[in-house]
Structure 1
């Protein structure tokens, strides 16, 4: 196991924190880990429908991850604060590399410096480095409606009166080019210009956010003398309305369109949180996405995806809670898609996943962490979906139309 990133993070925190006049250190992070098995023996199997953008995550995560964040305030100048942020991380998939169970993927997920509350930038922020950026996430299916992670620089959250404006340049030369991602000698020379305007107070109890991201290929070539394949320009536009105080929680309604060459995606999504009485919180998501693209023969090769699911989280007493999550996905492939060819028809693929959980958590609220969950997950799918199963699901349950996993998972953020 490579422990260097975590060791360096803890050493940095300890060394700086012990200095008499050292900077202020904020230590935060996220982790999840656990163990599971399937009813046929072996490791836990996780279930996702072919062609679906997401899966329902409760009792359905076959991995573990640790992401410690160290943020050090280094200086103040004319009312502004200046920081460095470092986030090493380790990741491991349960169903991969079992011959080396302690071998982890390590990386620096984030390492950047920034200045905040700069009056000359409308009380905004200037930053440069590698970071998570523009992450707009739906929790119970772990979907990022917006995501521009990578290397870059930008000006963020400038207060313009109507909202907060952020502009960035993002690029990651360490990631492979689409279509040749496994060829590490060819580097990605694609970059994006994400622009967002958030906090637009269009209604008394809510606000609107707008994201616009343009992308294109730079003229510089790949590594080792290899040129990256020609890539088209891209554009993504998303708008998301938040309404607070609905059904004891809040509503997010969004619509997004993105285009890259022959590939086009149009989607609408709604997330609703709420409460049943004083002890049960709930979270529901509905989404419809249309993917349009062409294969080499010029035929339509996309699909239409519909997803609907919800989770309830009920306080029982002491540290104990009960969770229930149900999610249903349906994918209707176009006639020219690989999914349709595998299914030998253009019929819809369907999958329904249900998870029951008994948890012990440090608090009465649904978001109380740390938490340890004992779960049972069962998924069922139709014949068209069975013909498109992949990975461990195919290896274990490829001759079935249902599968079950049992496990224990720990999760926390701090």
Structure 2
């Protein structure tokens, strides 16, 4: 075997192991465990030819995703009860992998461990709560239209979930170690600093406040470990109203300081996990949103979003992102839907220049598992049109995965096909 072939085989080995693991787990029965995951993939072209183009202002914003996702993503894995104590405590293990590619082909996307943790469920001294340690997804509700996890507490750590006995709600506490690396001096090879931070999360959820309505609260305290680094915090309150025209409404208010803003964090500047500890207390983020999903009839459903986010700092000034959007869906048959999505965003510039504006419109005939808004899998064809102002041209070109193909133009069209499923 040549060295080139050997290197190629070694590079392919993690993917082969992951696929073998996934294939084996997928055939496991419910009695043995559960296999769950998420997949999206597709392909398209733009009016400028070449790859599909996606319309986004980048920076502190998120894009409207129907017919406007130019990437490929998979996450999935296995959850199994490992053992059960005589007193009924269940010991459950979870292992997931994920793979991401900023394009239509997974190609050489590198599989990585997304979850690897063990839980002890039903502990009497936690009033039926759960203890856990490992790497996991943790308290990450989202606005589906924007793919915005408005709070995301993922990470590696340990804690307690849904502990009873503390009033009308359930209490959760977890501690994580974020950005757990050292900065090495390239000349001397010595450690010069660290971006690491200890993050503590406190959650109080499911507090009933009105008929079919409840409140969740989440507080994060971030302690920087590096020299000349900064601590931070965030506090979020969410009100969820169930049984609203067959759906639910979530209203949220969030405020973060320094690394508590999530800015410079591991993904998408999400509030909850530690952002950059180089950010001081002058850096703040305020977010207010309302997200409504309704299903008034079996055939008709719609998601709405209204959001305002203001970022401030002494160095960068103030910038505000506001957005409004809707995704109406009508099922013509049990397995065929017509979907549309319109979203408009505006971002003010700290220097007082013209605000950036972008509007995106998509039409997507869809084959679906069922009539409901959340029914998946979905196999979609789509046509997407984007329109932006001159001030937004550079931002649209910079955030487009296929490069600055639009030049000085202020509109574009993309067409394609996409699947989305969770299981």
**Pairs within 5 Å for 1:337-376:** 346-376=353-383
Establish whether residue 13 from structure 1 lines up as the match of residue 25 from structure 2.
Answer: yes
Which of 380, 393, 401 aligns to 1:386? It is 393
SS in 2 for 1:13: helix
| Contact 1:23–1:74, Cα closer than 8 Å, also in 2 | no
| Contact 1:272–1:283, Cα closer than 8 Å, also in 2 | yes
Establish whether residue 411 from structure 1 lines up as the match of residue 420 from structure 2.
Answer: yes
| Contact 2:78–2:95, Cα closer than 8 Å, also in 1 | yes
SS in 1 for 2:195: coil
Report the counterpart of residue 141 of structure 2 in structure 1. 136
Report the counterpart of residue 341 of structure 1 in structure 2. none
| Contact 1:309–1:325, Cα closer than 8 Å, also in 2 | yes
Establish whether residue 237 from structure 1 lines up as the match of residue 213 from structure 2.
Answer: no
Please list every run of at least 4 consecutive aligned residues from structure 1 whose deviation after the TM superposition is greater than 6 angstroms.
none
Which of 48, 51, 57 aligns to 1:40? It is 48
Which of 307, 327, 331 aligns to 1:287? It is 307
Offset of 1:314 from its aligned partner?
0.8
Establish whether residue 152 from structure 1 lines up as the match of residue 161 from structure 2.
Answer: no
Report the counterpart of residue 90 of structure 2 in structure 1. 81
User: Where does the alignment leave 5 or more consecutive residues of structure 1 unmatched?
Assistant: 178-184, 219-227, 336-344
Which of 202, 224, 237 aligns to 1:195? It is 202
Report the counterpart of residue 330 of structure 2 in structure 1. 314
Offset of 1:399 from its aligned partner?
1.6
Whole-Å Cα distance in 2 between the matches of residues 170 and 287 of structure 1? 29
Report the counterpart of residue 222 of structure 1 in structure 2. none
Offset of 1:357 from its aligned partner?
0.1
Q: CA 1:269–1:157 in 2, change beyond 3 Å: closer, same or farther?
A: same
User: Where does the alignment leave 5 or more consecutive residues of structure 2 unmatched?
Assistant: 1-11, 184-190, 259-279
SS in 2 for 1:333: coil
Report the counterpart of residue 398 of structure 1 in structure 2. 407
Question: Number of matched residues?
Answer: 377
| Contact 1:9–1:70, Cα closer than 8 Å, also in 2 | no
Whole-Å Cα distance in 2 between the matches of residues 10 and 247 of structure 1? 38
Offset of 1:413 from its aligned partner?
0.8
Q: CA 1:51–1:14 in 2, change beyond 3 Å: closer, same or farther?
A: closer
TM-score (normalised: structure 2): 0.84
Report the counterpart of residue 319 of structure 2 in structure 1. 303
Whole-Å Cα distance in 2 between the matches of residues 395 and 45 of structure 1? 10
Structure 1 vs Structure 2 CA RMSD:
2.3
Q: CA 1:52–1:43 in 2, change beyond 3 Å: closer, same or farther?
A: same
Q: CA 1:379–1:175 in 2, change beyond 3 Å: closer, same or farther?
A: farther
Whole-Å Cα distance in 2 between the matches of residues 103 and 154 of structure 1? 35
Whole-Å Cα distance in 1 between the matches of residues 65 and 246 of structure 2? 24
SS in 2 for 1:140: helix
Report the counterpart of residue 173 of structure 2 in structure 1. 167
Offset of 1:302 from its aligned partner?
2.9
Q: CA 1:67–1:365 in 2, change beyond 3 Å: closer, same or farther?
A: same
Offset of 1:167 from its aligned partner?
0.3
Q: CA 1:307–1:362 in 2, change beyond 3 Å: closer, same or farther?
A: same
Whole-Å Cα distance in 1 between the matches of residues 32 and 164 of structure 2? 26
Whole-Å Cα distance in 2 between the matches of residues 196 and 30 of structure 1? 26
Q: Deviations over 1:12-40 (max 9, x none)?
A: 6389x59xxx9721111111111111111
Q: CA 1:11–1:375 in 2, change beyond 3 Å: closer, same or farther?
A: closer
| Contact 2:22–2:77, Cα closer than 8 Å, also in 1 | no
Q: Deviations over 1:305-326 (max 9, x none)?
A: 1011010111012521110000
Report the counterpart of residue 181 of structure 1 in structure 2. none
